[in-house]
Amino acid sequence: MIYMDNAATSWPKPNTVYTRVLQSMEKYGANPGRSSHTMAVEAANLLLYGREMLCQLFNVSDPFRMIFTYNTTDSLNLAIKGTLKEGDHVITTSMEHNSVIRPLMHLANLGIETTIVPADSQGLVDPKDIEKSIKPNTRLIVTTHASNVTGTLMPIEEIGTIARNHGIYYLLDAAQTAGSLPMDLSKLPVDLVAMPGHKGLLGPQGTGVLYIREGVDLNQIKEGGTGSLSESIYQPDFLPDRYEAGTLNTPGIAGLGAGVEYILNYGQEKIMNHITNLEKLFLNAFSQIEGVKIYGPTNIKMRCGIISINIWDRDSREIVNILSQRYNIATRGSLHCSPLAHDTIGTKEQGTVRFSPGVFTTLDEVKACIMAVGEISRKIKIRSI
C-alpha cells in the first residue's frame, strides 16, 4: 500500500517509536508523578524526556511550557477557552479547521464574538485584513500555520507582529507544520502553539502539545488529580500540572519523545527538503495532466507539502475510492473537516483529493501516484470509468 495520508496522521513511524511505546508499557508502566517508587519515577522521566526533546526541536528553554494534551484539537480547545471570556472578540480566517471554528462557534453562545477574515482562492490571507478587523476588545488572533486543504502557508510572522503591536495573543494551529517545518519559538511572535504529536512529530495517536509562552495568562479548562499538592482541594497554579489533570498518555508520550528524537537525529532541514522535492514532483506532473486541477498557491515557497487536486468534475470521494481499490494508494477526499476553506476555494460540493507525502515517502511511490492520476484522468475523458 502507498500511504499518502500523512496530513491526517503520519505512517509509518520510526521503529524506535514502536519499541519505546512497548518498552514504556512493559518496563515503565506505573503512573508517572503519582508515587515515589522506582517505576513511577522512571515513567515520570519518560514524560520529562518528551518535553526536553520538544524543547530542543523548537528552541524553548523551559520544558514545563510544553503541555501534553491528547491531540491538536485538545490543545486548541485549551488555548481558545482558556483565553477568552464573555465580551471578548477573536479574529480568525476562512482557512481554519473545524478544531478552531467549532470551539469559536460554541463560544458565540457565551457572548464571545468572532470575525472570520476571508482568504483568496489560493487560501492566502492578507495580514492587513486581520489588522483592520481588530477592535478594542480583541483578545485573541488564531490562525492555522498551513491549510490542511490547500497546503497554503500563512504569513505568521506578519500576523504575530500585528498581534504583538496591539497587545493581543496569537494562537497558532501548527497541525500541518510541527515537525516538518523548522520553527524557532524563541524568535517567532507567537504566544500559544497547538501541535499534534501524531503527524509531523512522528509520535502515536492520542498525543498533542500546547506550547504556552512565558507571561501568557491562560485559565485551565479542566481540574483534577495531578499527583502534586494532594492536600489541596484546588488545582495547582504551576506548570505543567495546572493544565495536565488526570493520568497522561505515558506510552504515547514515550513514543512521541522517540519521534522527536528521530527528527533531531535525522535533521529537520533534510525532512523539509525531502517533502518539498516530492511536492515539486507532484505539482510539475499534475500540472501537465489534462483534466487535473491543483489547488493552493503556485509558488512552492508558500506551500507545506500538501497537494490537493480534482480530476475533471468527479466527486473527490469517488477518486479516492478508485485510488484505493485499483491502485492501493491511500489518500483523503471530501471536505477535510474544513468547510469554510472549501467555500473559499470553491470545492464545497466536490471536495478535494489530498496527497500528503511524509518523511518515509519514496520517489517511486510519488511516481506511482502520478501514473495512477494520469490513467484515471484519461479514462474519465473517454468515459471508461
- Binding-site size for ligand PLP (CB under 6 A) equals 13
User: To the nearest whole angstrom, how small is the minimum distance from the Cβ of residue 69 to ligand PLP?
Assistant: 9
Find out whether 33 and 226 touch, Cβ atoms under 8 Å: yes
Which H/E stretch holds residue 316?
helix 316-327
Region binding ligand PLP by CB under 6 A among candidate stretches 29-37, 68-76, 112-120, 264-272? 68-76
Q: Which residues in 134-163 contact ligand PLP (CB under 6 A)?
A: 144, 148
> For residue 74, what are the contacts with CB-CB under 8 A and spacing of at least 6?
208
Among residues 47, 175, 202, 330, the one that binds ligand PLP under rule CB under 6 A = 175
> For residue 132, what are the contacts with CB-CB under 8 A and spacing of at least 6?
none
Region binding ligand PLP by CB under 6 A among candidate stretches 29-37, 127-135, 169-177, 179-187? 169-177
Judged by CB under 6 A, does residue 93 bind ligand PLP? no
Cβ distance to ligand PLP smaller for residue 342 or 380: 342
Among residues 72, 226, 250, 347, the one that binds ligand PLP under rule CB under 6 A = 72
CB atoms within 10 A of CB 365: 17
Cβ distance to ligand PLP smaller for residue 76 or 370: 76
Q: Which residues in 260-299 contact ligand PLP (CB under 6 A)?
A: none
> For residue 75, what are the contacts with CB-CB under 8 A and spacing of at least 6?
67, 69, 194, 195, 208, 209, 210
Judged by DSSP in three states, 167 sits in coil
Find out whether 253 and 228 touch, Cβ atoms under 8 Å: no
Judged by CB under 6 A, does residue 114 bind ligand PLP? no
Judged by CB under 6 A, does residue 6 bind ligand PLP? no
Judged by CB under 6 A, does residue 94 bind ligand PLP? no
Cβ distance to ligand PLP smaller for residue 245 or 337: 337
Cβ distance to ligand PLP smaller for residue 144 or 347: 144
CB atoms within 10 A of CB 13: 23
Judged by CB under 6 A, does residue 196 bind ligand PLP? yes
Among residues 51, 65, 97, 242, the one that binds ligand PLP under rule CB under 6 A = 97
Cβ distance to ligand PLP smaller for residue 206 or 227: 206
Among residues 176, 226, 250, 356, the one that binds ligand PLP under rule CB under 6 A = 176
d(CA 79, CA 82): 5
Judged by DSSP in three states, 2 sits in strand
What are the DSSP calls for 238-307, one per residue? STTGGG--S---HHHHHHHHHHHHHHHHH-HHHHHHHHHHHHHHHHHHHHTSTTEEE-S-SSGGGB-S-E
Contacting positions for ligand PLP (CB under 6 A) = 8, 71-73, 97, 99, 144, 148, 173, 175-176, 196, 208
